[in-house]
Structure 1
Amino acid sequence: MPLVLLLLIAVLLGTPPAQAASFCSARISGQDVVLAYDRDEPGLRDHFTRREILSSTWGRGTCPSYVVLRSLTPELTDDQRGPFCLRHDADSDSIIGHDLGRRDANGHCVQPAKTVCQRVNQTRDAAVAISGAAARGAVSGARALPDGSGAVILSGSKGYISGALSSIGGAAAGLASSPAIVAGAAVTVVAVGGAVYACRD
C-alpha cells in the first residue's frame, strides 16, 4: 500500500502514523528493487557520503549505498558491516553482491572486486567456533580485522579452507563441504557477528 495512502488512513482514523519510511530504488543483480529506510534513524546518515545526503534531502529516488549494503547483510550490525563493500558491475550498472574491501564514495569496492560473498550458515555456532579457534591460534592464517568489526578472516585454496574448518570441528566442520566453499579455487571465509560468509569468484 502506498505510503501516502497509509498516512491518509492514519489521519482519518485519528491515529498518528508510525515513523514514516523513505523509499528508494536500487539495481541489484540486474533487477530494480524498492527499499525502505528511516531517513531520521540516529547515526544512519553517518554512513552516507555527502552526495548521498544531498540526494536523500532532495528526495531523489536512488538508494544510498549503505541502505543497499544493509539489505544484503540484514543479520549484521553497522559495525560488523565494516569490512564489506558493494560489488558493482559497470556493464549492467547493477550491484551484484558484496565483497571485502574499502568503499569508494558510492559504496563500491575501491579495488576491482574479484569475489562475491554469500552467507553459508544459519546459526551463530560456526562463527563462534571460527572466531574462538582464531583467538586461540588454533588455525594458522586466520586474522582478525583491526577495524572494530570483530571479523575473522581465513583465506586460501578450497582444500586448505576445508581442512581448516574440519580441524575446528563442530558447526565449523559442517561448512567444509558447503557448495559455496568447494566451488571456488580460492576462498575467503569471514566470520563476523553471528554469520559466516564465503567469498569466491
Structure 2
Amino acid sequence: MRRILTLTAALTALSALPALAEATFCTARINDRDVVLGYDTAEPGLDKNFSRRERIAARWGEHDCPSYVVLRALTPELTDDQRGPFCLRHDEATKSVIGYDLGERDAWGQCRQRSASVCERVNATRSAAGAMTSAAARGTLNGLRALPDGSGAVIMSGSGSVISSALGSLGTAAATVAASPALAAGAAVSVVAVGGAVYACSD
C-alpha cells in the first residue's frame, strides 16, 4: 500500500508542473492502471533519454510513453542525471510498471537484471542525504560508497539492521531514515542518497 501511495503522490506532483512548450501526451501503464503523462518534444537532450528502439516502436504504434517520462513521473524531485542509478521495475503479469529499482537499464528503460526490489523515498529533508554524502566523501562509514555514474549518488547495501545501525551513527536526520519501516522490513536493503533525498530499495 505504501508503494502505491508513493507512486500516486509522484503522479499528482507531475500534474502540477507548468505547462510544457510543445507537449506530447502519452499513456503509461503504472500499477495496473493507465496514466496519461506529458513531455516536451522540443526539450534539449531528448535523444539522450529517448532510446532509438522506443522511437521506432512509438512510430509503429507499439509503444506509448518513453521510459524516461515514466521514470520522471515517479521521481519528480530528481534531474535526469540524478536518475542515473535507477531503472523501471516492470511486472510481466500486469504488463505495467510497479516502481523503480537500482540497476542498469535496457532499451525500454527497464532493469536489465530482474529482482524483487522496489525503491521508495524515505525522507523529506536534505539533511540525511547530506550526512550520507559527506560520510562517503570522508570514507568514515564502512560500505558507503559513491556510484561511478556521474549521478552524484552514494549507496550502502546490506541487511536492514546493519544499515539502520550505520545510519544511526550519522546524526539525528540519518537516524530518522534508519527507523524507516522500509529498512526494518528488508533482509537485503540498498539505501541511496541522491539529489538531496534518500531512497530505500528492498523486497
Q: Please classify the TM superposition score into its range, dividing by the shorter chain length.
A: 0.7 to 0.9
SS at match of 1:159: helix
Q: TM-score, length-normalised on structure 2?
A: 0.86
Letter of the structure 2 residue corresponding to residue 26 of structure 1:
A
1:31 aligns with 2:36: no
SS at match of 1:118: strand
SS at match of 2:34: strand
C-alpha contact (below 8 Å) 1:155/1:161 kept by paired residues: yes
C-alpha contact (below 8 Å) 2:90/2:99 kept by paired residues: yes
C-alpha contact (below 8 Å) 1:143/1:154 kept by paired residues: yes
**Residue in structure 1 matched with residue 105 of structure 2 by the alignment:** 103
Query: CA distance change for structure 1 residues 26 and 194 in 2, over 3 Å: closer, same or farther?
Result: same
Q: How high is the sequence identity, in percent, across the aligned residues?
A: 65
Q: CA deviation at 1:114?
A: 2.2
**How far, CA to CA, are the matches of 2:48 and 2:149 in structure 1?**
16
1:40-79 matched pairs, under 5 angstroms: 40-56=42-58, 62-79=64-81
**Residue in structure 2 matched with residue 83 of structure 1 by the alignment:** 85
The number of residues matched between the two structures is 185
SS at match of 1:168: coil
Q: CA deviation at 1:18?
A: 6.7
Q: Between Structure 1 and Structure 2, whose CA radius of gyration is higher? A: 1
**How far, CA to CA, are the matches of 1:74 and 1:150 in structure 2?**
17
Give unmatched runs, 5+ long, in structure 1: 1-16
**How far, CA to CA, are the matches of 2:121 and 2:49 in structure 1?**
23
C-alpha contact (below 8 Å) 1:23/1:61 kept by paired residues: no
C-alpha contact (below 8 Å) 2:20/2:39 kept by paired residues: no
SS at match of 2:169: helix
Instruction: Deviation per CA, 1:67-91: give whole Å up to 9, x if none.
Output: 1011111111111111110001111
**How far, CA to CA, are the matches of 1:144 and 1:173 in structure 2?**
20
Letter of the structure 2 residue corresponding to residue 44 of structure 1:
L
**How far, CA to CA, are the matches of 1:177 and 1:18 in structure 2?**
39
Q: CA deviation at 1:123?
A: 1.1
**How far, CA to CA, are the matches of 2:177 and 2:86 in structure 1?**
21
Q: CA deviation at 1:33?
A: 0.5
**How far, CA to CA, are the matches of 2:79 and 2:133 in structure 1?**
17
Give unmatched runs, 5+ long, in structure 2: 1-18
SS at match of 2:87: strand
